[in-house]
Amino acid sequence: MGQEIERKFLVNGDEWRSGKVAHTCQGYLVTGNDTTVRVRLKDDKGYLTIKGKAEGISRLEYEYEIPIADAKDIMDRLCIKPLIEKKRYEVEHLGILWEVDEFFGENEGLIVAEVELESEDQQVELPSWVGKEVSDDRRYSNLSLVRYPFSQWKKE
């Protein structure tokens, strides 16, 4: 059984830009009954991911690599639009891997940092470029960004 335990934060500054970067595009196939199924293109690889209902910062997650041609076809023909377009930066801070997503397309201007944890009570020291925590704000989930893109949000 796969388990994802993740915290999300808004990002300040540009210090995180030194990390490894991957171009990513993803789309959703199923978004109901507390389950989501998505297809992702990450550089030259394709993935199929199934996620269960979020309970706090945890949820079930299963991910499988699939042929890139299949991933592209599924994304083009079956996924809900708009697709999520982003650059994902991998940045290590004090031995912990952070993923920083810089969004484009309908979500241009949004930058979110994520850290996956071993347990819900794991403590992590936040990098200086990490801002407000948004783990409990579902607007920042990628699925929510498909349904209600950042470009449509009113200025807060």
| Structural Rg of the chain based on CA atoms | 15
In tens, the pLDDT along 71-121 reads 999 999 999 999 999 999 999 999 999 999 999 999 999 999 999 998 888
Q: Rounded to whole angstroms, how far apart are CA atoms 55 and 90?
A: 25
28 has catalytic annotation: yes
Residue matched to tokens 């969004």: 103
Can you tell me the mean pLDDT for 59-63?
Answer: 93
Query: Which residue among the candidates 28, 47, 62, 64 is catalytic per the annotation?
Result: 28
Element (H, E) at 55: none
Q: Cβ–Cβ contacts within 10 Å for residue 145, how many?
A: 24
Six token digits for residue 113: 């940092």
Kindly report the pTM of this predicted structure: 0.89
- pLDDT confidence of residue 70: 97
Question: In the chain, what are the domains?
Answer: 3-152 (2.40.320.10)
Q: Which of 117, 41, 104 is nearest to 76 (CA)?
A: 41
Mean per-residue pLDDT over the chain, rounded? 92
Q: Rounded to whole angstroms, how far apart are CA atoms 28 and 84?
A: 9
